[in-house]
Every structure is written in structure tokens, then in C-alpha cells.
Structure 1
Amino acid sequence: MSGPAHPSRPARPSGPAPRCRTLTLLAAALVLAAGPLTAVGGRPAAALGNAVAATPPMGWNTWNSFGCSIDEQLVREAADSLVASGMKDAGYDSVIVDDCWFDPRRDARGDLHGDPERFPSGMKALGEYIHARGLKFGIYQTPTDRTCAQRGHDYPGATGSQGHEQQDADTFAAWGVDHLKYDWCSEAGTLDEQIAAFTRMRDALRNTHRDIVYSINPNSYHADKTGATYDWSAVAHLWRTTEDITSAWDEHKADNSYGMSVMDIVHLNGRLGHQAGPGHWNDPDMLEVGVPGMNETEYRSHFSLWAQMAAPLIAGNRLPAMTPAVRDILTNQAVIGVDQDGLGRPARIAVDSDTELVTVRELAGGDRSVTLTNTGDTAATVSTTAAGLGIAEAPSYTVRNLWTGAAGSTTGTLAAGLAAHETAMYRVTPGGPDDR
């Protein structure tokens, strides 16, 4: 979350199911050049010195569908739905309670508590419920005096962690928290002040001796969106590069401003892959798959491009009401496998025009993943070449479509006929069947 809750948005009608595509696939051995990762000021890239977030975190967060309208029953039902739907088995292992869980006042000792009416069992008991289902427990807080909802007057109180960093970190550890989302929520603050504030909580979490994923957002309410201009890899496991996402395909924003569409984010975050890798990830914000505002074709493209960018996959849809089509998108193991690839090297944008986007990503073991996206508003063929991808020629490829499962052996150009806003995603292995 960054800023007040999303205003209500009209749902865009769902588009038709994607048609079978005739693919002409040709070839080259994919050799993607990528420079070494560098941390801020030469400091270690593993922000907390622990083993969490070796691959981009996966889970579900309350905010995109519910905003402040949350309670312990809703969160428990979400945990149960993650298990029952198969999403837990697909890798979504965390339930993250976003803003508005707080008792608006700290107690006499300055300790935090859950809202007594909406979380009457307490946050520790909620964490135990989540853990009992084999899931991890995430929670939200800010480094300033107020949370985003409190600053936006959507929620009472002033319960930010400013001046309470170690106290709050110890509380979260005692509750069994596994993931902290830490959101700036202030117009004020220089970059140095932001670095100092986020580092204080980093160190406080380290002092708890509990492995906690540390997710920061320096952009909320802030005029200077430092998430996209500063390498936070020495401070956090993941950091938001953009303002909040909205469930829209392309708003054509020229700046990093509130209410970013899928393509607005890709144009920005897709060029920051050099600073991400195991233990430290660019965060282009949560998934809008299943949240009203886009159609199934756009959801599928959104998911493909987040996987290519090695983004955290944090769903935000209404889980009990999830359609089979949305579940199939969110649990596509071939696409998730790209996101979770152990090499941890995000894709490079090879082509980005008014109507086409082409990305290529190096994977562990020598495979490559390639996306072809028709960003235009009418059906079109999108293609690329070995030269366009910056790759060397090879006699043949084995190519597998990660949405249809179709596989073949090709040499030459890679092309697909695509509906408006559709993405074709492939896993490419150098060498065809005749080479094995």
C-alpha cells in the first residue's frame, strides 16, 4: 500500500478466451549478457544476512481487494482458501495483513496491538492460525509516525514505528511474523533520512534473530520516488520501485505517480534488473490478477511480465470468489518456475515500441525465457530475431509455450499472432530433438 485506498474503478468486461495461435518459431542460442550485481556503497547485497528471499517471495495480501475493511475472520478464510485452492502448493506461502489492523492507540508501555473489535483474538493467535496451515504470517507497518491510511484519514490513530523500531520488531518476532511490509507514508524526508529510517528497522529485525522478509516502500506520499532511483539492495530484501499499481492495462503515465498501470510499471521496473538478484528484489507492486479492471488476456500478460521481471508474486484477489480461469493463471507452474528461477536474473527488455514489447531472461542451466507482447489495441503479429535479442546463432532450439504447453524444435525467427494486449511466453532450450 502507498497512499489512500484505491478509488472504486469500473470493471472492464472480460475478453474472449485466447484463440489457438499459429506460431512460427526460428532460432538462436540465447546468450544474454548481464553485468555483475553491485550493492549500495559496496555493502553486502543480502540485506539482513539471512537465508530468506533467495527467490522472489510469493503470497497473498489483503490490500488490493479489501483496503481497510479487514478482520481476523477474513484473514483466516484467506489462509484456508490459499490451501484449498491449490495456491499454497503452487508456492503462495504467505498471508500478509496490510494497513488498518492496528488498535489506534499503543498501550501504556508503547506496545502495538491488533484492533480489539476486528482482531479480538489478537495478532499472535492470528499468526498461529496461519502457521498451522503451513503458511507464513506477514504484517504491515511504517517508519514514520502514521500509517498511510492514518495519514489519509481513512483510519484513526498514529501507530507508526517512528521511535519504536526495536520495540515493534520484538513484538513482531514474538507474534511469529515472517514478513514485514514497511511503507514510508510521508511527504517529508530526504533520501538520507529515508535510508536511516529503513536501516533502523533492518537492524532491529536482525536483532530479533528471527528470519523475517523485509519489504520496503520509500515512495508512499513522497514526491521523490526513490524506489526507482536508488539501489536499496543493502537495506531490504525487496523494495517498491513504483507507486501503487492499479488494475488497468496502460494508463500511459509519463511519471512515477499514484495509480500505475501494468505497462506503466513494466516500462519503469523492467529497466532496473541489474540491481536485483537472490536476496534482493525489485518490487513492482502486487498482482492485480483477478481484481476487477482487466480481462483474462491482460491478467495473463500481467502475470507473464511479472515472472520475467523476477518480481515478488503477491496476489490480492478475493480468494473464495476466484474463478477457475484466474486460479489457472495464478497457479501456472511453468510461468512460476521462471519467476522462481534460481539464477535470479531478471529479464532484459529487447524491444519496447508503441505496439510491441519483447523481453528475454537468462535462466539457470542455460535455458532462456522470452515474452512477446502485443501492447497495441488490435490483433497483430509480434516477432523477434537472434540479433534483436542480442543472442548468438545456433542450429536449433527446443521451444515450449508456457501457457499452452505446446513444444517444438525450430531455427530462425520467433513470432506469434496475438490479440490486443496478449503475451506469448516461451522457455527456450538450445538444441532440438535431433541434437540430443
Structure 2
Amino acid sequence: MGWNSWNRFRCRINEKLIRKQADALVSTGLSKLGYVYVNVDDCWQASRDSDGNIIEDFKAFPSGIKALSDYVHSKGLKFGLYSSAGTQTCEGRPGGLNHELQDARKYSEWKIDYFKYDNCMHEGRGDKTATKSRYGALRDALNATGRPINYALCSWGEVNVWEFGKELGNSWRTTLDIQDSWKSILSIINQNENLHKYAAPGGFNDMDMLEVGNGRMTQEEYRTHFSVWAALKSPLLLGHDLTKTTRKTLEIIGNKRVIAINQDPLGRSAILRIKYRNVFVWVGELVDGDRVLLVMNGGHKTVEVSIDMAIFAVSEKDVRESETYLLETKDLWENNEGTSVATWRNSIVAGRIPYHSVKMYRVSRKNGKFPSLQKAGRILEDIPITVVEYFSFVGYCSSFHRAVLILLPMGTTAGLLLSFAHHPDRTIDLPEEAKIESNQKYVTIQQAYELLKDDKYRREYDQFGSFYTPSPNKSSDTRAYGSAKWDWSVQDPGTRELD
């Protein structure tokens, strides 16, 4: 746990900035929660001397890296650096390939505690054998110094690095770089779907640094981002400007109960047991025998979810026994003290989950022990999950969709102008992604117009700001991993609360 400079600052780093970030880790109280690493990413290097020794960028770091390391340590924190297992770093600074021994000695002299090794400019040495050789060379060099250094492999998930990562380092990146967007978060979650078995004390799947607090996602999306990273035991490295940490950001990254899940001594990643439509359900083992239960709504509509207690089962015998479970279930996000959650008819009632949001629970069994999940995969197909989906044409609720609701009641002119601007004939020359987005807006406008031109719906909207509408998907559907139900439901615009 700690902080890394890359997500927020990229190459715009210097000695003064890093010192301020270290100060902020302490002044915000984050260091007391376990965020202790201050990691300087790319762009601290300048060149190599005639003997091949690495030289720091003294324009940006006039006191030198050793002085910066000493300052960070004086705050009771730990210090980390970065390079690439290639001839250059990703930003064109000197890389570490073929300089492992002399670099490791220098890092030890500087008293670093963490080292991130990237994958750029490896001169075609990207197959499994060559990757093991490149990363193994620095592992051996760091070990030879005798200094304990957390070694983080950043090979972007290439050549299934998780299969051998523990032989080389303490963590391994499983994907390409994260972005401050829901699309990126969901992509990383999907790519880590079946990697739980590779995470254990001493070596963990690294889903990349955190984007919480950088401002391009909603509060709910950041909470989901943090929750999944915590449950899957990814390193929690903050990536925002710590000097501008807001109360809302602290509410997420400072949640002690969620941090405890991530730092649980057992070190086992939660397992994805249900992936049904846009609902994901993970269960993870904790050292005291408890379970973490994480339910994510990855779709664009609010849902209500209840999950059969057999979610904790592994065998048919366990499924039958689950009918007798007496559970204590605490909501880890409702408040910092934890709130009991209802169980009903042998199910845990997660309740209403806004789009892109989560419910996260710590579950204790009061009449025995849960079965071990070590041989568990996804849940059996006949274990039910009930999903009630709330229809809303503003389900993914950007400011644009709200504008549609505001403008259309004013009259048809505004609606026609909006419709004309996003008509498919007007967007034919746009890039594919922009074209899809514009077409979605066009459909939204048409839906809004058709509903609001009805006098009954318009009166309800004028009076209440919303209206009841039949779902176009009213049906009952049972497929693998559960059952889903759609019913008449009230429009729910969800939430969009920027940090």
C-alpha cells in the first residue's frame, strides 16, 4: 500500500512534488492506515556515465535520489523507484537491460524499498523464456545486495506472467495500463476473472495503480474500483495528487474495513463465483474463517439482487448444508462501523445496487465453519441469484441524458434540434467510438420524446420529475448461474456524484 507518481503526474515530477506527496501521506493520516510506499515512476533518470552507472535527472531532483530517499524515510515511510527491463524506459529514459548488477547496487545504496520494472524497449525479447531471463536477472541482482526490496514486475500480463511471476517477484501486472474511466476498470476486472489461484502471500496479481480521486469517474465507480482491487488482493497504490485529497476520496481510500480485506493475512484473492448478465459476485476466504462477499453491478441500470447462501458452497453436500446457515453479515460501505444485512428465505438480500456500484460484506457463520474454497470454481448452475432490473432510458445517466429530460418538456423544437444533431446520417464520418456514442444519444432522445409527448407521462414528469413506465424487457429468464426477473418498475436515474 502506498502511492505512485504515474497516474496523476506522468513525467511532470520533481523533488519538491515528491516531498509534498510524502508529507501528505502523513498529514492525511493515510500512512497510519498502511499507505507507506512513496514510489517515483518513470522520468527520474537522465543518462549513464562512461562506466554505465545510472545518473539521476539533477534538474528535476537537484538534491539527488539518495537525499529524496532519506527524506521519505525520515517521515516513517518507504521509498520506491522505477525502470524498464529494456534498453530504455517507456518515456525514453535509460533502461535497465544489461545493467542489472550495477543498477541493483546503486538502488541498495539509495536504500530503496520497492522497485517497479516495466516492459518497454526489450528489443524483441518478449517470449516467455526471454521474459523470465530479463526479469530474473534483476531479481538475482537485487537479492545479491542483501537489502529487502519489494520487486514489482510490470510486463502487462504478457506471456501469462501470473503462471511464473512468483518465481521472480512479489507482484506482477496482469494487464496494460489503467485509465481513469469505467471502461478501463471493467476491462481489467474481466481480464482478472480467473486469476485468483495465483494470488497468495509473497506474490499477488497487480491490477495497476488506483485512479480514485483523479476526477473522471463517479463516486460509485471509484468505490467499485477500490472494492474489487481490495477483494482481489491487488496492491493498493494511490495514484492521485495527495495534496488535494478530498473528503469524498478519503471516504473510499480510508475505509478501514475494506483495507482489512485487502491486507488480510491469509492473502487469498476472492473468487468470481457468479457472472450473470452484468452482475458479478465474488466470495473470498479470510484468516478468521469469515468470508468477503462482493456484488458488483457492471451494467447501465439499477438492479436489486439477492443471493442464495449456497454461494458459499463447493459440493452438493455443502449446498444442502447451506440451508441451515446462521450468518452475521456486515455491510462494509454502509458506514465505518458495519451494518447488519438482511437474510430472507436462505438468501442474502443485497438490495438495490446503482449502476457501476457494489455491495461489499463481511460474512461470519455462527453455527459452524464455511467449506474451504480452495478447490472452488464458479458456482453450480442451479444456485439461484435473483436480479430485478430497473428500466430507465437515463440508466447510464450522463449530464447529456438529464439535458434531454429538461429540454424536451419545453417543446418539440429543442428535441428536434438535439435529434438532428445526433441523427445517424449526421455522424457517418465520425470515428467508430464517437459514432456509437452519438447513436446511443439519438436513441435516448427518441425514447424521451415518445414518452414525454404522452399527456399522462408528461403530467407525472412535471409533477414528480419521474414517471412509472413498463419495462420493454418484461420477462423471466433462467440461464447458467442463476435466474433473472424483470417487472414493472419505477424509473431510477441512478447516481452521478463527482469527487
Residue aligning to 1:301: 224
Match of 1:379 among 295, 302, 326: 302
Residue aligning to 1:395: 325
Q: CA deviation at 1:230?
A: 3.5
TM-score normalised to structure 2 length: 0.69
Residue aligning to 2:179: 246
CA distance in 2, matches of 1:337, 1:425: 13
Secondary structure in structure 2 of the residue aligned to 1:226: helix
Show structure 2 runs of 5+ residues with no match.
368-499
CA distance in 1, matches of 2:155, 2:341: 45
Would the alpha carbon gap of residues 248 and 421 (structure 1) be closer, same or farther in structure 2, given more than 3 Å must change? same
Moved more, 362-371 or 383-392: 383-392
Report sequence identity in percent: 38
Secondary structure in structure 1 of the residue aligned to 2:61: coil
CA distance in 2, matches of 1:265, 1:134: 33
CA distance in 2, matches of 1:425, 1:139: 33
Q: 2:339 matched to 1:431?
A: no
Residue aligning to 1:82: 25
Match of 1:169 among 104, 115, 133: 104
CA distance in 2, matches of 1:389, 1:262: 26
CA distance in 1, matches of 2:147, 2:161: 29
Within 5 Å, give how 1:10-159 maps onto structure 2.
Answer: 58-103=1-46, 105-150=47-92, 157=93, 159=94
Moved more, 180-189 or 356-365: 180-189
Residue aligning to 1:367: 290
Residue type matched to 1:323 in 2? T
Match of 2:140 among 196, 203, 224: 203
Within 5 Å, give how 1:248-287 maps onto structure 2.
Answer: 248-250=181-183, 261-287=184-210
Secondary structure in structure 2 of the residue aligned to 1:369: strand
Show structure 1 runs of 5+ residues with no match.
1-57, 151-156, 251-260
Residue aligning to 2:354: 419
CA distance in 2, matches of 1:96, 1:395: 45
Would the alpha carbon gap of residues 61 and 134 (structure 1) be closer, same or farther in structure 2, given more than 3 Å must change? same
Q: CA deviation at 1:142?
A: 1.2
Contact 1:231-1:275 within 8 A present in 2 as well: no
Q: Which has the higher helix share?
A: 2
Q: 2:250 matched to 1:327?
A: yes
Contact 1:310-1:344 within 8 A present in 2 as well: yes
CA RMSD of aligned residues (A): 1.5
Contact 1:398-1:410 within 8 A present in 2 as well: no
CA distance in 1, matches of 2:128, 2:18: 35
Contact 1:72-1:118 within 8 A present in 2 as well: yes
Residue aligning to 1:7: none
Q: CA deviation at 1:398?
A: 0.6
Secondary structure in structure 2 of the residue aligned to 1:110: coil
Q: CA deviation at 1:362?
A: 0.6
Q: CA deviation at 1:383?
A: 2.4
Residue aligning to 1:312: 235
Contact 1:217-1:227 within 8 A present in 2 as well: no
Q: CA deviation at 1:108?
A: 2.6
Would the alpha carbon gap of residues 228 and 195 (structure 1) be closer, same or farther in structure 2, given more than 3 Å must change? closer
Post-superposition CA distance 1:5-36 (Å, at most 9, x none): xxxxxxxxxxxxxxxxxxxxxxxxxxxxxxxx
Q: CA deviation at 1:408?
A: 5.0
Q: 2:348 matched to 1:406?
A: no
Secondary structure in structure 1 of the residue aligned to 2:166: coil
Match of 1:214 among 123, 129, 151: 151
CA distance in 1, matches of 2:202, 2:294: 25
Secondary structure in structure 1 of the residue aligned to 2:159: coil
Contact 1:373-1:423 within 8 A present in 2 as well: yes
Secondary structure in structure 1 of the residue aligned to 2:283: strand
Contact 1:143-1:162 within 8 A present in 2 as well: yes
Moved more, 111-120 or 58-67: 111-120
Q: CA deviation at 1:249?
A: 1.2
Contact 2:73-2:79 within 8 A present in 1 as well: yes
Secondary structure in structure 2 of the residue aligned to 1:149: coil
Moved more, 410-419 or 303-312: 410-419
Residue aligning to 2:483: none
Contact 1:375-1:421 within 8 A present in 2 as well: yes
Q: CA deviation at 1:109?
A: 2.6
Q: CA deviation at 1:410?
A: 4.0
Residue aligning to 1:253: none
Q: CA deviation at 1:431?
A: 1.3
Contact 2:89-2:95 within 8 A present in 1 as well: yes
Please tell me whether Structure 1 or Structure 2 has the larger radius of gyration of its CA atoms.
Answer: 2
Contact 2:128-2:159 within 8 A present in 1 as well: yes
Residue type matched to 1:413 in 2? S
Contact 1:278-1:344 within 8 A present in 2 as well: yes
Secondary structure in structure 2 of the residue aligned to 1:325: helix
Secondary structure in structure 1 of the residue aligned to 2:55: coil
Contact 1:102-1:112 within 8 A present in 2 as well: yes
Contact 1:308-1:361 within 8 A present in 2 as well: yes
Would the alpha carbon gap of residues 326 and 358 (structure 1) be closer, same or farther in structure 2, given more than 3 Å must change? same
Q: CA deviation at 1:287?
A: 0.7
Q: CA deviation at 1:389?
A: 4.2
